[in-house]
């Protein structure tokens, strides 16, 4: 029927041309072409190859419709992007970051970095009930990417007025009906159309909760016809029925069951298409976003066989009998600057406009590049008060621009969990309870506990101060316990069960996501009980100190794990105001019947600590780094919390220093200086190889203490060392459970080669 209708239209057009010789060819309407692009996840990149063939054939769509990834490719094509531009965007984009909830670490607020990207699960708490997330990915980076790419049509809400009229389809999850989106915010419409249930969070538009259109209507041919298309050229990358021989498990059955409605609807829509391409290959899956290059090539090759037919169609449509196609091959250019006359915030409930604007740092009546605008939005998002911050630019009747910020807040409370194991500190379960605005607006409280052989507790309260939230008040406490700390002091060499507690209160700057200066009062408590006491006369040791501390924190690393560029620095000056020590003396001394204790007070002293690392990205897959660390006390007699435990790939005790080449906490020192250098290589996606060498020099000779207490020699028989040179190599894979790593190491004072294994996010 569609062929007969098209033939009739062509005959009528010919008769009209022949009956009126004075009529110009540009006055004769030609049949209109509608291009239809289906969903299919990453397989939708094949549409770009399909569009490249259409361009070679000389065909320009008059209308475009799309679903899911087809909505993204189609929407960008409709506003003027060429297939070559889309190919470049698809290949150069880091899709692992875009389709995750992560933002670069250097855009996370400095006060939140220690708690960012360290958990496997996260659940909100609302109305005293734990709530499950509505999707795995909220997609902050995806929102920003789509807003950036569609910025040339910000303020143009009627999709029919695009260079090529456009519409996309989503599904109303409340009733299962397809919803055609042809006006409003293009980025938001595309995001709704690709909201795969349980993967991407649903999007609300005009009161409707929308998910992926491919759920019920994956090939929107009828929408293109309704727009006015006479000829339909469709590309389908969606699901297809598998024969029973290929349904080999529960997963196959469930997957096919989920797409029954969509596949049947697509089959019906295919019958309305005049030209249909199905660039499907079993080689690719819907989640293969990092294979964009290969999928685009597959789409091109799958469509290329139709090139002669398409050229013939183009020749017939754009002949002298009809108006010209006016194919535009100019690349789309993003605006260099956006002038913001005013800002409108929508969707915030518990968080005030003042706090949002203060962290956003954008002034009205000033121009901003899109890059800077997105950076400032990510900085506000990096406070972790928001699930999502998306933006659009609208223009009022007097031509002034309004920056629209759509906000979705995180729950007031959340529970996060993680598991970790390594052969240095054992296995542990991390539980984190975070509340925001629970006590005061602009406040955050974290209570975290690591349930492990060596338990740890962290309590941290944080409150923004001032109109622009550039300063914050903090109060917190930390507790850690470690069994069998070795070499605690060169005069002893005893193995201890050690516990450390610190309570602090102070202020810090928060105007930069990567730099903070501040000061605090610090109360430190230490308690050490020998577990191996061959030499020592001390049964128990404890101390208490009060200090005033100033600090400079810098962290511009691009990632939490396996960073490739940036600087990380922790520099602290501390003045010890008072210190009290208590030592319980063994009754074996002088053959006394009862043990006794001695109390001591230390003189006031100064401390300078520094730990600085710089990473250089030399190649997309290769980086190198340099680092220095050290501590200087104005006295050799300090409290236990001012001594440093050295050794291990990933030590987590307070005042511990990583040293590749030594066992965890193998050395201890009061004053020390250390330097390190390393390289990191990523041979495959999510796989990393690291090689590091480091050198340490303490202010006093240190002893090496063996792991086995039975083999521990007497103090007088132990070797002493002036310094140590160590090196190690580590292989890692970044899994959903956290990094999985294995490594080997050795140092100049110990011929034994050590091994390291770890799984999960570190505490």
Query: Tens of pLDDT along 24-40?
Result: 445 567 899 999 999 99
The CA distance from 129 to 415, in Å, is: 11
Q: Are 31 and 60 in contact (CB under 8 A)?
A: no
**What mean pLDDT do residues 621-634 have?**
96
Enclosing H/E stretch for 628: strand 622-633
Better-scored residue on pLDDT, 222 or 1: 222
Nearest to 257 by CA among 233, 273, 241: 241
Three-state DSSP class for 109?
Answer: coil
CATH 2.40.160.50 maps onto the chain at 413-587+595-760
Question: Which DSSP symbol is given to 443?
Answer: E
Nearest to 656 by CA among 539, 718, 734, 570: 570
Q: Are 46 and 237 in contact (CB under 8 A)?
A: yes
Better-scored residue on pLDDT, 389 or 249: 389
- Binned at pLDDT 50, 70 and 90, residue 653 comes out as confident
Better-scored residue on pLDDT, 682 or 583: 682
- In the prediction, which pLDDT does 401 show? 84
pLDDT over 80 at 48, yes or no = yes
pLDDT over 80 at 214, yes or no = yes
The segment with the largest mean pLDDT, out of 205-219, 230-244, 699-713, is: 205-219
Question: Which DSSP symbol is given to 160?
Answer: G
- In the prediction, which pLDDT does 592 show? 47
- Binned at pLDDT 50, 70 and 90, residue 639 comes out as confident
- In the prediction, which pLDDT does 126 show? 84
Better-scored residue on pLDDT, 457 or 337: 457
Q: Are 362 and 340 in contact (CB under 8 A)?
A: yes
- Dihedrals phi, psi of 35, to nearest 5 degrees: -105, 130
Residue 191 half-sphere exposure toward CB, CA atoms < 13 A: 31
Percent of the chain with pLDDT over 90: 55
212 carries an active-site annotation: yes
Nearest to 680 by CA among 736, 750, 630, 613: 613
The CA distance from 549 to 521, in Å, is: 6
Better-scored residue on pLDDT, 329 or 190: 190
pLDDT over 50 at 461, yes or no = yes
The CA distance from 642 to 672, in Å, is: 12
Better-scored residue on pLDDT, 594 or 508: 508
The CA distance from 315 to 326, in Å, is: 14
- In the prediction, which pLDDT does 2 show? 53
Query: What is the sign of the dihedral through the CA atoms of 17, 19, 22 and 23?
Result: negative
Strands 166-172 and 208-212 come out as antiparallel
Q: Are 756 and 112 in contact (CB under 8 A)?
A: no
pLDDT over 80 at 702, yes or no = no
- Binned at pLDDT 50, 70 and 90, residue 700 comes out as confident
- Binned at pLDDT 50, 70 and 90, residue 330 comes out as low
- In the prediction, which pLDDT does 27 show? 56
- Write down the number of H helices and E strands in the chain: 14, 39
Three-state DSSP class for 283?
Answer: coil
pLDDT over 60 at 192, yes or no = yes
Enclosing H/E stretch for 204: strand 203-205
- Terminal CA-CA length for the chain: 67
CATH 3.40.1090.10 maps onto the chain at 33-101+140-317
The CA distance from 461 to 437, in Å, is: 11
How many angstroms separate the Cα of 357 from the Cα of each of 325, 339, 374, 379, 662? Answer: 47, 17, 14, 11, 48
- In the prediction, which pLDDT does 332 show? 77
Q: Per the residue annotation, which of 38, 68, 266, 414 is the catalytic one?
A: 68
Residue 478 half-sphere exposure toward CB, CA atoms < 13 A: 13
- In the prediction, which pLDDT does 30 show? 83
- In the prediction, which pLDDT does 22 show? 38
- In the prediction, which pLDDT does 675 show? 97
**What mean pLDDT do residues 147-174 have?**
94
Burial string for 78-102 (b: 16+ CB within 10 Å, else e) reads: bbbbbbebbbeebeebebebbbbbb
Rounded to the nearest integer, the mean pLDDT of the chain is 86
- In the prediction, which pLDDT does 217 show? 93
Query: Tens of pLDDT along 510-542?
Result: 999 999 999 999 999 998 887 765 555 667 788
- Binned at pLDDT 50, 70 and 90, residue 590 comes out as very low
Q: Per the residue annotation, which of 62, 90, 151, 212 is the catalytic one?
A: 212
pLDDT over 70 at 481, yes or no = yes
pLDDT over 70 at 5, yes or no = no
- In the prediction, which pLDDT does 128 show? 80
Assess if CATH 3.40.1090.10 describes domain 33-101+140-317. Answer: yes
- In the prediction, which pLDDT does 497 show? 84
Q: Which CATH architecture has domain 338-409?
A: Roll (3.10)
State pTM to two decimals: 0.83
Residue 483 half-sphere exposure toward CB, CA atoms < 13 A: 10
- In the prediction, which pLDDT does 386 show? 92
The CA distance from 472 to 511, in Å, is: 10
CB atoms within 10 A of CB 540: 17
pLDDT over 60 at 419, yes or no = yes
pLDDT over 70 at 174, yes or no = yes
pLDDT over 90 at 281, yes or no = no
Burial string for 137-146 (b: 16+ CB within 10 Å, else e) reads: bbbbbbbbbb
CATH top-level class of 413-587+595-760: mainly beta
Enclosing H/E stretch for 299: helix 292-304
Nearest to 640 by CA among 521, 541, 706, 546: 541
pLDDT over 70 at 345, yes or no = yes
């Amino acid at each position: 029927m569609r062929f007969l209708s098209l033939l009739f239209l062509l005959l009528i057009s010919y008769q009209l041309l022949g009956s009126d010789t004075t009529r110009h060819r540009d006055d004769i309407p030609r049949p209109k072409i509608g291009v239809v692009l289906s969903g299919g996840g990453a397989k939708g990149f094949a549409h770009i190859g399909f569009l490249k063939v259409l361009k070679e054939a000389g065909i320009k769509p008059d209308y475009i419709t799309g679903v899911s990834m087809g909505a993204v490719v189609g929407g960008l094509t409709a506003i003027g992007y060429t297939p070559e531009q889309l190919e470049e965007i698809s290949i150069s984009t880091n899709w692992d970051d875009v389709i995750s909830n992560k933002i670069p670490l250097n855009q996370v607020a400095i006060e939140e970095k220690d708690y960012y990207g360290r958990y496997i699960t996260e659940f909100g708490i609302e109305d005293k009930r734990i709530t499950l997330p509505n999707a795995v990915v909220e997609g902050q980076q995806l929102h920003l990417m789509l807003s950036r790419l569609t910025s040339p049509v910000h303020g143009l809400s009627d999709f029919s007025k695009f260079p090529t009229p456009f519409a996309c389809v989503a599904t109303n999850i409340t009733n299962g009906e397809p919803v055609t989106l042809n006006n409003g915010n293009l980025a938001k419409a595309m995001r709704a159309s690709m909201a795969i249930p349980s993967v991407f969070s649903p999007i609300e538009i005009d009161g409707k909760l929308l998910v992926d259109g491919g759920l019920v209507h994956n090939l929107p041919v009828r929408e293109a016809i309704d727009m006015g298309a006479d000829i339909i050229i469709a590309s389908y990358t969606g699901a297809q029925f598998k024969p029973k021989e290929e349904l080999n498990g529960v997963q196959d059955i469930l997957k096919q069951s989920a797409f029954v409605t969509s596949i049947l609807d697509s089959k019906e829509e295919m019958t309305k298409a005049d030209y249909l391409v199905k660039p499907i290959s079993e080689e690719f899956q819907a989640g293969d976003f990092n294979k964009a290059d290969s999928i685009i090539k597959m789409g091109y090759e799958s469509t290329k066989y139709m090139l002669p037919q398409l050229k013939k169609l183009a020749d017939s449509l754009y002949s002298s009998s009809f108006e010209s196609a006016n194919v535009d091959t100019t690349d789309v250019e993003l605006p260099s600057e956006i002038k913001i006359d005013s800002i409108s915030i929508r969707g915030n409930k518990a968080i005030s406009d003042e706090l949002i604007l203060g962290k956003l740092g954008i002034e009205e009546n000033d121009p901003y590049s899109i890059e800077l605008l997105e950076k400032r939005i990510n900085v506000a998002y990096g406070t972790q008060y928001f699930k999502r911050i998306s933006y659009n630019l609208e223009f009022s009747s007097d031509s002034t621009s309004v920056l629209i910020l759509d906000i979705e807040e995180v729950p007031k409370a959340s529970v996060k969990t993680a598991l970790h194991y390594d052969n240095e500190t054992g296995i542990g379960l991390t539980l984190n309870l975070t509340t925001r605005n629970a006590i005061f607006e602009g406040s955050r409280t974290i209570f975290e506990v690591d349930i492990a052989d060596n338990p740890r507790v962290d309590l941290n309260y944080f409150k923004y101060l001032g109109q622009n939230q550039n300063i914050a008040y903090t109060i917190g406490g930390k507790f850690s316990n470690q069994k069998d700390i070795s070499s605690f002091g060169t005069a002893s060499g005893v193995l201890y069960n050690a516990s450390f507690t610190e309570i602090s209160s102070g202020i810090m700057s928060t105007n930069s996501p990567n730099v903070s200066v501040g000061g605090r009062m610090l109360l430190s408590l230490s308690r050490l009980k020998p577990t191996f006491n061959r030499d020592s006369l001390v049964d128990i040791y404890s101390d208490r100190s009060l200090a005033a501390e100033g600090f400079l924190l810098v962290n511009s690393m691009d990632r939490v794990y396996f960073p490739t560029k940036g600087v990380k620095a922790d520099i602290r000056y501390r003045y010890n105001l008072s210190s009290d020590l208590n030592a319980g003396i063994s009754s074996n001394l002088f053959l006394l019947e009862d043990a006794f204790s001695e109390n001591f007070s230390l003189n006031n002293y100064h401390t300078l600590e520094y730990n600085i690392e710089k990473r250089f990205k030399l190649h997309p897959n290769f980086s190198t780094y340099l680092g220095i660390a050290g501590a200087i006390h104005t006295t050799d007699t300090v409290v236990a919390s001012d001594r440093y435990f050295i050794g291990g790939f990933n030590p987590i005790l307070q005042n511990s220093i990583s040293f590749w080449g030594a066992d965890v906490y193998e050395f201890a020192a009061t004053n020390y200086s250390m330097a390190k250098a390393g390289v990191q290589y990523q041979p495959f996606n999510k796989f990393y190889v690291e090689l590091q060498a480091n050198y340490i020099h303490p202010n006093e000779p240190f002893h090496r203490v063996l792991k086995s207490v039975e083999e521990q020699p007497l103090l007088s028989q132990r070797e002493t060392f002036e310094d140590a040179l160590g090196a190690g190599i580590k292989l890692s894979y970044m899994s959903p459970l956290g990094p999985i790593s294995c490594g080997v190491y050795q140092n100049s004072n110990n011929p034994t080669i050590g091994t390291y294994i770890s799984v999960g996010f570190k505490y």
